[in-house]
Amino acid sequence: MISFFKRRRSGATPRSRTSGPAPVVTRAAATRAPTARRSAASLSLRAYIAQHAQAFTYSLGQLWRAPAATLMTAAVIGIALALPTALYLVLEHAQQVSAGWKGGAQITLFLKHEVSDEAARTLAVRLRAWPALTGVSAISRTEALEEFRRLSGLGAALDALDENPLPAVLVLHLAPEHDGMAQEYSGRLLAKVRALPEVDLAEFDEQWLKRLRAIMAVIERAVQLLALLLAAAVLFIVGNTLRLAVQGRSDEIEVSKLIGASDAFIRRPFLYSGMWYGALGGVCAWVMVSLALRLLNGPVQRLAALYQSDFSLSGLSFTLTLLLVSAGAILGLLGAWLSVGRHLANIEPA
């Protein structure tokens, strides 16, 4: 009543009894509602993270309690991952070696044995005037013998010969426009140089390099197909392993479903187990490939030294190692998802 009279004195109209609460109370309630929703969402997120952390550590503990079985499964997965990885590294090293052979197309002319070095240089000067060639390199008989002695390691056998058995050699470098259509142009150019009276044999050097690249392309495709087949093998290995785990814990799963556990909650530890199997398989594959490269590096270096090369096998890079372990973990997780989900649906409490 006192407030009513105060409002009458100030000229304010009385509030209706049917009107809602004061504006101040409405704003407070509106302010508390989003805060309550944010708190509920934060609690839900924390609970979700806690469940994942619990499943993460629980699955790792389950594997740790059976080290022999875990190591055997990881080793089988590691072999499946190591095979395509090793073939990929061999192919990559072969591509690195062949990268030094890339260049313009060349035609090598082996001159007749009776052609002297002076006559070979004269022929080289005459061929440099051809528009299809950018240059001609002349290798004398003495230079050819010294190069063969250095690369072959047959110095003692060559010293026993009465005369130099090697002919002079001319290397013809094709112009870039003819290099681009070398397959079509080589036939006519080869016929032209083979008709020269000083030439005994002419070889188009780009042909064997193209054959080598075609062979490497076939090997690369074979490695890709093998990687797909072995990836499917990893899925089957992880799926079968976790299928046995699900069947062995069927009573526990039934009890969990009776007290209201969802399929996602039950599936989560098995998914983490599959991820651990795949990751450990990737680590095993890294160990196998690194050990194989270490064992092969010595013989490869000795073979390269015979050809005056310092080539050596390089190990797995950090990026490739991370990719290998990640690929194993992803394949293990996918195999667990495909296998566990199907078998969990068949386990229902009676």
pLDDT digits (tens, 9 = 90+) for 51-74: 778 878 878 788 888 888 889 999
Q: Return the pLDDT at 163.
A: 74
Task: Label residue 3 by pLDDT band (50, 70, 90).
Answer: very low
- Is it the case that residue 9 has pLDDT exceeding 60? no
Domains observed in the chain: 53-100+216-344 (no CATH), 113-197 (3.30.70)
More reliable by pLDDT, 28 or 145: 145
Note whether 194 and 202 are within 8 A (CB). yes
More reliable by pLDDT, 132 or 337: 337
Q: Return the pLDDT at 40.
A: 67
Does pTM top 0.85 for this prediction?
no
The predicted-structure confidence for 70-120, as pLDDT tens digits, reads as follows 899 999 999 999 999 988 888 888 777 765 555 556 788 888 888 888 888
What is the percent of the chain where pLDDT is above 90? 13
Q: Return the pLDDT at 36.
A: 63
